[in-house]
Amino acid sequence: MHDKTLAELARGLAAGDFSSRELTASLLERIQRVDPSLNSFITVTGEQALEEADTADDLRQKGQAGALGGLPLAYKDIFCTEGVRTSAGSKMLDNFIAPYNATVVEKLRHAGTISLGKTNMDEFAMGSSNENSYYGPVKNPWNSTLVPGGSSGGSAAAVAAGLVPAALGTDTGGSIRQPAAFCGITGLKPTYGRISRYGMIAYASSLDQAGPMARTAEDCAMLMNAMAGHDSRDSTSVARNVPDYTQDLDKPLNGLKVGLPVEYFGDGLAPEVETAIREAVKVYESLGARIIDVSLPHTRLAIPAYYVIAPAEASSNLSRYDGVRFGHRCDNPIDLEDLYKRTRAEGFGDEVKRRILIGTHTLSEGFFDAYYRKAQQVRRLIRQDFLDAFSHVDVLMGPAAPTTAFELGSRADPVQMYLQDIYTIAINLAGIPGISVPAGLVDNRPVGLQILGPHFGEAHLLNVAHVYQQATDWHQRRPEIKE
């Protein structure tokens, strides 16, 4: 059962081939066997999952099961789950039992899904390799010497290894798409505001967005149906009609106008990744797409703008961790300032501290105009690049990352690590949706094709990805897991 898609499992449950309890129990057993060597889960909620599975089976008996009823999922440990530790991969929240559910967790529970647990991640979603977790790095299921990508590395690895058919991630600068690419799965970052951020621990609030990570675009579409929509508890969620994302999955791609940004095929792109991506583009040509070269002229400024805006927002968001209301608190503080300073020095890891310091510095008196204001101006130019491109093409395509998964410990320099996100980061600044789909293997390392669309174009992106997955089998390749 572990290598089936969500859609296949849904059909199996509906046909009575197996119960949700059998499915859940078999995956929990597999997690116990396989995950010690991967470290993709921080917390497994086995007992709770089996209870939820029984409830789902009862509902099905009564004919009340929905499309997602009885299907197991996992949550990146950044989504608040009532009564369950929600750590954000940080020592700061190691003892934090969330007192409420994130809206998206609540919606998926309501849809009848089962939570198997909480997946590993870079601390507070800051990282591109999952090496910045208080709970230790995650291993890539394709090769245990490689990183799974980050920051949703645990979710990506768990899906790739067949521990769970789908998982939720969050994406602030590529944190769904890059690990999806590195682990050979499908991951969608929706339009900013499409999914509620309520109960999702904040990193950079104008960039953060939750999304599904699964084996196929069809599975992502099924999850989007339950996840998307306005939430009065998140004032940045958008009140806009939610389409049925599964409805147009099979629509033919005849006449689809595909733009290839020249900047996404330049220096720094590994030749073997470029070859795989160009092959995927040829598949689209054979499916009737027209390929057009386009330019996103401000691409080179995306990483610099991001590393002002995201740390600035993070320094503000993370000021709530003060040792007073929840989370870690230092021992025997002598006064309030000592309480704050020692609690935060002990609770945060290195990368988080770097970003708090950068953000605080760039927002401080005398530096604000040169950094923050300037970055926000550049952000508008970057968004305009995409709006211009989408005025004459339907989607953009390129690599999700400049390389395949790299070796654990091989990117010690923070700036080198940041440059990993060159093809994903601008998308968050612009707020548009993007999806990564498996499009090749190089030395047994997956390559991800990134497809980008205009604001609220998720349904079309899923269609474009799904038709490709009907024509290719990269998404069906599985790593060999030592059991």
Partner 1 sequence: MAIEHANVLRAAHLARLGVTDAQAERYVDDLSRILEMVDRLAEIDTEGVAPLSHPLDATQPLRADEAIEADRRDTFQSVAPATQDGLYLVPRVVE
Of 234-273, binders to partner 1 (CB under 8 A) are 235-236, 238
Overall size of the chain counted in residues? 483
State yes or no: residue 6 binds partner 1 (CB under 8 A).
no
Q: How far apart are CA 142 and CA 445, in angstroms?
A: 7
Q: Which position among 19, 20, 40, 76 bears the catalytic label?
A: 76
- 375: tokens are 């970055």
Give the residue, chosen from 21, 189, 342, 475, that forms a contact with partner 1 under the rule CB under 8 A. Answer: 342
Least separation in angstroms between residue 102's CB and partner 1 is 16
Q: Is 151 a catalytic residue?
A: yes
Give the residue, chosen from 339, 441, 442, 481, that forms a contact with partner 1 under the rule CB under 8 A. Answer: 339
Of 196-235, binders to partner 1 (CB under 8 A) are 206-207, 232, 235
Q: Which is nearer to partner 1, 344 or 475 (CB)?
A: 344
Q: Is the dihedral of CA 205, 240, 186, 81 positive or negative?
A: positive
Of 432-451, binders to partner 1 (CB under 8 A) are 432
Which residue type is seen at 135? Y
Give the residue, chosen from 124, 198, 203, 348, that forms a contact with partner 1 under the rule CB under 8 A. Answer: 348
Q: Following DSSP, what letter does each residue of 400-412 receive, concatenated? A: SSSSSPPBTT---
Give the residue, chosen from 59, 66, 414, 472, that forms a contact with partner 1 under the rule CB under 8 A. Answer: 414
Q: How far apart are CA 408 and CA 137, in angstroms?
A: 8
- 60: tokens are 């099905």
State yes or no: residue 377 binds partner 1 (CB under 8 A).
yes
State yes or no: residue 387 binds partner 1 (CB under 8 A).
no
Give the residue, chosen from 353, 472, 477, 481, that forms a contact with partner 1 under the rule CB under 8 A. Answer: 353
State yes or no: residue 295 binds partner 1 (CB under 8 A).
no
Residue 72 contacts residue 114 (beta carbons within 8 Å): yes
Residue that the structure tokens 């899904």 belong to: 113
Least separation in angstroms between residue 57's CB and partner 1 is 30
Q: Which is nearer to partner 1, 140 or 362 (CB)?
A: 362
State yes or no: residue 189 binds partner 1 (CB under 8 A).
no
Q: How far apart are CA 425 and CA 342, in angstroms?
A: 33
Q: How far apart are CA 226 and CA 106, in angstroms?
A: 10
461: helix, strand or coil: helix
Binding piece for partner 1, criterion CB under 8 A, among 131-139, 245-253, 261-269, 332-340: 332-340
What is the CB-side half-sphere exposure of residue 350 using CA atoms within 13 A?
5
Residue 401 contacts residue 411 (beta carbons within 8 Å): no
Of 128-187, binders to partner 1 (CB under 8 A) are none
Binding piece for partner 1, criterion CB under 8 A, among 146-154, 272-280, 284-292, 380-388: 380-388
State yes or no: residue 354 binds partner 1 (CB under 8 A).
yes
CA angle 249/164/90 to nearest 5° reads 110
Q: List for the chain the helix, strand, coil content (%; round to 5).
A: 40, 15, 45
- DSSP annotation of 92 reads G
What contacts 242, CB < 8 A, 6 or more positions away?
225, 228, 229
Q: Which is nearer to partner 1, 95 or 286 (CB)?
A: 95
Least separation in angstroms between residue 104's CB and partner 1 is 19
State yes or no: residue 284 binds partner 1 (CB under 8 A).
no
Q: Are strands 434-442 and 445-452 parallel, antiparallel or unpaired?
A: antiparallel
Q: Is 206 a catalytic residue?
A: no
Q: What is the largest CA-CA distance in the chain?
A: 70
Q: Which is nearer to partner 1, 83 or 252 (CB)?
A: 83
Least separation in angstroms between residue 251's CB and partner 1 is 26
Q: How far apart are CA 462 and CA 434, in angstroms?
A: 10
Of 60-99, binders to partner 1 (CB under 8 A) are 95-97, 99
Q: Which is nearer to partner 1, 217 or 310 (CB)?
A: 310
Query: H or E segment at 23?
Result: helix 20-38
Q: Which is nearer to partner 1, 311 or 440 (CB)?
A: 311
Q: Which position among 115, 128, 155, 175 bears the catalytic label?
A: 175
Q: Is the dihedral of CA 237, 242, 247, 250 positive or negative?
A: negative
Give the residue, chosen from 38, 146, 389, 429, that forms a contact with partner 1 under the rule CB under 8 A. Answer: 429
Which residue type is seen at 104? V
Binding piece for partner 1, criterion CB under 8 A, among 244-252, 315-323, 401-409, 469-477: 315-323
Q: Which position among 87, 90, 128, 151 bears the catalytic label?
A: 151
Least separation in angstroms between residue 158's CB and partner 1 is 26
Give the residue, chosen from 176, 200, 303, 396, that forms a contact with partner 1 under the rule CB under 8 A. Answer: 303
State yes or no: residue 336 binds partner 1 (CB under 8 A).
yes
Q: Are strands 290-294 and 210-214 parallel, antiparallel or unpaired?
A: unpaired
Give the residue, chosen from 213, 358, 425, 437, that forms a contact with partner 1 under the rule CB under 8 A. Answer: 358
Q: Which is nearer to partner 1, 198 or 406 (CB)?
A: 198
Least separation in angstroms between residue 334's CB and partner 1 is 7
Q: Is 237 a catalytic residue?
A: no
CA angle 191/457/201 to nearest 5° reads 15
Query: Hey, which residues are catalytic here?
Result: 76, 151, 175
